[in-house]
Amino acid sequence: MQNPGNNRGQIVGEHMTIETSNLKRRAALAAGMAAAASPLAVPLASPAQAAGTMLFDVKRITIPIVGSDHLFPVRRIYCIGRNYAAHAIERGSDPTREPPFFFQKPTDAIQNVAPGTIADHPYPSLTKNYHHEIELVAVLHKGGRNVPLEKALDLVYGYTIGLDMTRRDLQNAMADQKKPWEIGKSFDHAAVLGPIHPVAKVGHFTKGRISLAVNGKIRQNSDLAMMMWSVAEQIVQLSAAFELMPGDIIYSGTPENVGPVVAGDLMEGHIDGLPELKVRVV
Ligand code: MN
The domains found in the chain, sorted by start residue, are: 1-52 (no CATH), 62-281 (3.90.850.10)
Dist CA 190 CA 167 (whole Å): 9
What is the model's pTM? 0.82
**pLDDT score at 89:** 84
Distance of CA 71 to the CA centre of its chain: 16
Amino acid at 118: I
Number of Cβ within a 10 Å radius of residue 183? 15
First to last CA, the chain: 75
Q: Kindly report the length of the chain.
A: 282
Ligand 1 centroid to Cα of residue 79, in Å, is 6
Q: How much is the average pLDDT of 208-235?
A: 97
Which run of H or E residues covers position 89?
helix 85-90
Ligand 1 centroid to Cα of residue 201, in Å, is 26
Distance 209 CA to ligand 1 centre (A): 17
Rounded Cα distance between 250 and 238, Å, is 10
pLDDT confidence bin for 131, thresholds 50/70/90: very high
What was the pLDDT predicted at 47? Answer: 61
- What is the CA(97)–ligand 1 centre distance, in A? 17
Binned at pLDDT 50, 70 and 90, residue 194 comes out as very high
Higher per-residue pLDDT: 223 or 24: 223
* Ligand 1 geometric centre to CA of 281 (Å): 18
CA of 136 to the centre of ligand 1 (A): 10
Mean pLDDT of 184-212: 97
pLDDT tens track for 4-59: 334 443 333 333 333 444 444 444 444 444 444 444 444 555 566 678 999 999 99
Q: Are 202 and 194 in contact (CB under 8 A)?
A: no
Q: How far is the CA of 45 from the centre of ligand 1 (A)?
A: 35
- The per-residue pLDDT for range 89-109, each reduced to its tens digit, is 888 877 777 889 999 999 999
Give 162 Cα–ligand 1 centroid separation in angstroms.
Answer: 10
Cα–ligand 1 centroid distance for 264 (angstroms): 22
Q: Ligand 1 mean position to 186 CA, how many Å?
A: 11
d(CA 106, CA 191): 9
| The pLDDT of residue 48 | 63
- For 104, the 3-state DSSP assignment is strand
Q: What is the pLDDT of residue 153?
A: 98
Helix (H, G, I), strand (E, B) or coil at 22: helix
- Residue 71 Cα to ligand 1 midpoint, Å, equals 24
Q: What is the pLDDT of residue 45?
A: 52
Distance, CA 49 to ligand 1 centroid (Å)?
Answer: 33
Q: Which of 52, 190, 200 is nearest to 121 (CA)?
A: 190
On whether the CB atoms of residues 153 and 142 are closer than 8 A, the answer is no
Note whether 153 and 248 are within 8 A (CB).
no
Lowest mean pLDDT among 64-73, 84-93, 259-268: 84-93
Mean pLDDT of 156-165: 98
Cα of 145 vs centre of ligand 1, distance in Å, is 24
pLDDT of residue 86: 84
Q: What is the pLDDT of residue 97?
A: 75
For residue 155, the CA-to-ligand 1 centroid distance in Å is 21
Burial class (CB in 10 A: 0-12, 13-18, 19+), 43: exposed
With beta carbons less than 8 A apart as the criterion, state whether 133 and 91 touch: no
Q: Ligand 1 mean position to 133 CA, how many Å?
A: 6
Mean pLDDT score, 75-92: 89
Ligand 1 center from residue 28 Cα (angstroms): 51
Alpha carbon distance 195, 64 (integer Å): 5
Distance, CA 81 to ligand 1 centroid (Å)?
6
Ligand 1 mean position, distance from CA 53 (Å): 38
Calculate the average pLDDT of the chain: 87
Q: How confident is the model at residue 189 (pLDDT cuts 50, 70, 90)?
A: very high
Stretch 163-191: mean pLDDT: 97
